[in-house]
């Protein structure tokens, strides 16, 4: 069925799913069934939703963004101490304009954190490109501890939401666990968007972040309040604003869910504008499959489309994307 173009991004209270996520009878509770229905509707028709009732405290969400503001205010020489390079496994700080989307220099600076690999992945040739310890700044002092706590909590939340997505697709709750995404790769991007008017040569940059889909399974975005910047293209090609709603995450699905669902849940193009007067922070967390997993349509999703989605190894997809981000 062709997607039904939505004109606004739905809000889903995921609280029943988060509260009951470890219950073996998860899919039978009426409140959970209600969440599953809403997830199905959002994933089929727009690929984006606001999550409330997610259990991550407002204090932690705010702390993550205010520490990020503090970091980006540091002098360049201090930020460059954790500079991202090919030999750092593309982990660390990238200055303004270093990230490229489709040939344009994105108007943002960022720090990238990737999950660190255990011994089984360390020997994989494919993983070498993104290998390495994460790079943590000395200042702000609490930065590392807060971000690590945040990653732990968002891993748990993503797992709970994906149990709902699995049930929505008609599978078992643990479909995205075990060899598929039971040992998930993850990425945390701490992004700073300067107001374009504040730049010396604004013409040398594209927009904040050029239009793209996300690479993995699920993205949870924690964005500064009061700065509209993120836009989502609906299925009729209209750009919708994903304005910040304090205390919520903007959640969207990535390329791997399209393959696993055999095209039923499509990732949505989105972009970031920096037309505001203030420096904007956004911290997306990307929950991904196991690095070495071959992603292919789930057997119970084969009927979702006449044409079968082509399998990919998640790590290959990621490495290709990371390399083109700096081309
Ligand atoms: O800045 C944002 O709100 C979203 C950024 C984004 O789409 C991404 O990093 O993939
Ligand atoms: Fe994105």
The whole-number average pLDDT for the span 313-324 is: 95
- pLDDT tens-digit map of 135-163: 999 999 999 999 999 999 999 999 999 99
Binning pLDDT at 50, 70 and 90, where does residue 327 land? low
Ligand 1, residues at Cβ distance < 6 Å: 189, 191, 209, 214, 221, 223, 230, 270, 272, 282, 284
Q: Which two tokens stand for residue 147?
A: 């971000």
Measured distance CA(191)–CA(170) in Å, rounded: 36
Contacts for 280 with CB less than 8 Å, ≥ 6 apart: 192, 193, 208, 223, 224, 227, 229, 274
Binning pLDDT at 50, 70 and 90, where does residue 64 land? very high
Q: Which two tokens stand for residue 10?
A: 């739905």
- pLDDT tens-digit map of 275-317: 888 999 999 999 999 999 999 999 999 999 989 999 999 999 9
> Contact 210/313 with Cβ under 8 angstroms?
no
3-state per-residue secondary structure call for 31-90: HHHHHHHHHHHHHHHCCEEEEECCCCCHHHHHHHHHHHHHHHCCCHHHHHHHECCHHHCC
Minimum-distance ligand to the CA of 283?
1
Measured distance CA(21)–CA(42) in Å, rounded: 20
Residue 212 Cα, ligand 2 centroid: separation in angstroms? 6
Radius of gyration of the chain (CA): 19
pLDDT at position 57 over 90: yes
Closest CA to 219 of 244, 243, 253: 253
Residue 238 Cα, ligand 1 centroid: separation in angstroms? 18
The whole-number average pLDDT for the span 53-60 is: 98
Residue 210 Cα, ligand 1 centroid: separation in angstroms? 9
Closest CA to 84 of 99, 72, 65: 99
Mean pLDDT, the chain, rounded, equals 95
- pLDDT tens-digit map of 191-222: 999 998 888 888 888 899 999 999 999 999 99
Which residue's CA is the closest to the ligand 1 atom numbered 8? 284
Residue 216 Cα, ligand 2 centroid: separation in angstroms? 10
Q: What is the per-residue DSSP string for 109-151? A: EEEEEEPPP-HHHHT-GGGGGG-S-----SSSTTHHHHHHHHH
Binning pLDDT at 50, 70 and 90, where does residue 1 land? low
Minimum-distance ligand to the CA of 274?
1
Q: What is the per-residue DSSP string for 236-289? A: TS-EEE----TT-EEEEE-HHHHHHTTTSS----EEE---SSS-EEEEEEEE--
The reported pTM is: 0.97
Question: Which domains does the chain carry?
Answer: 11-323 (2.60.120.330)
Binning pLDDT at 50, 70 and 90, where does residue 99 land? confident
Measured distance CA(281)–CA(264) in Å, rounded: 32
Binning pLDDT at 50, 70 and 90, where does residue 101 land? confident
Binning pLDDT at 50, 70 and 90, where does residue 44 land? very high
- pLDDT tens-digit map of 2-34: 788 889 999 999 999 999 999 999 999 999 999
Backbone angles phi, psi at 256, to 5 degrees: -70, -30
- The reported pLDDT for the residue numbered 181 is 98
pLDDT at position 122 over 80: no
């Amino acid at each position: 069925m062709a997607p039904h173009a939505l004109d606004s991004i739905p809000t889903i209270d995921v609280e029943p799913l988060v509260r009951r996520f470890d219950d073996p009878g998860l899919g039978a509770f009426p409140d959970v069934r209600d969440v599953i229905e809403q997830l199905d509707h959002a994933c089929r028709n727009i690929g984006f939703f606001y999550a409330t009732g997610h259990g991550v405290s407002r204090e932690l969400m705010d702390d993550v963004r205010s520490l990020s503001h503090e970091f980006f205010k540091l002098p360049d020489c201090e930020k460059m101490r954790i500079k991202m390079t090919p030999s750092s496994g593309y982990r660390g700080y990238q200055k303004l304009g270093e990230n490229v989307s489709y040939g344009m220099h994105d108007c943002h600076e960022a720090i990238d954190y990737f999950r660190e690999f255990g011994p089984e992945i360390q020997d994989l040739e494919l993983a070498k490109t993104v290998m390495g310890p994460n790079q943590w700044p000395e200042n702000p002092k609490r930065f590392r501890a807060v971000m690590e706590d945040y990653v732990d909590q968002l891993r748990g939340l993503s797992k709970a939401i994906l149990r709902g997505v699995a049930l929505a697709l008609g599978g078992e709750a643990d479909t995205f666990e075990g060899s598929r995404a039971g040992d998930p790769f993850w990425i945390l991007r701490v992004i700073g968007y300067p107001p374009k008017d504040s730049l010396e040569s604004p013409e040398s940059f594209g927009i904040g972040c050029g239009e793209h889909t996300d690479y993995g399974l699920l993205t949870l975005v924690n964005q500064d309040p009061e700065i509209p910047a993120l836009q989502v293209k609906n299925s009729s090609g209209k750009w919708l604003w994903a304005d910040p709603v304090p205390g919520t995450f903007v959640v969207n699905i990535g390329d791997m869910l399209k393959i696993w669902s055999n095209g039923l849940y499509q990732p949505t193009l989105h972009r970031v504008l920096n037309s505001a007067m203030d420096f904007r922070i956004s911290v997306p967390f990307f929950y991904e499959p196991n690095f070495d997993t071959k992603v292919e349509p789930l057997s119970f999703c084969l009927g979702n489309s006449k044409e079968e989605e082509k399998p990919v190894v998640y790590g290959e997809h990621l490495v290709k994307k990371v390399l083109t981000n700096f081309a």
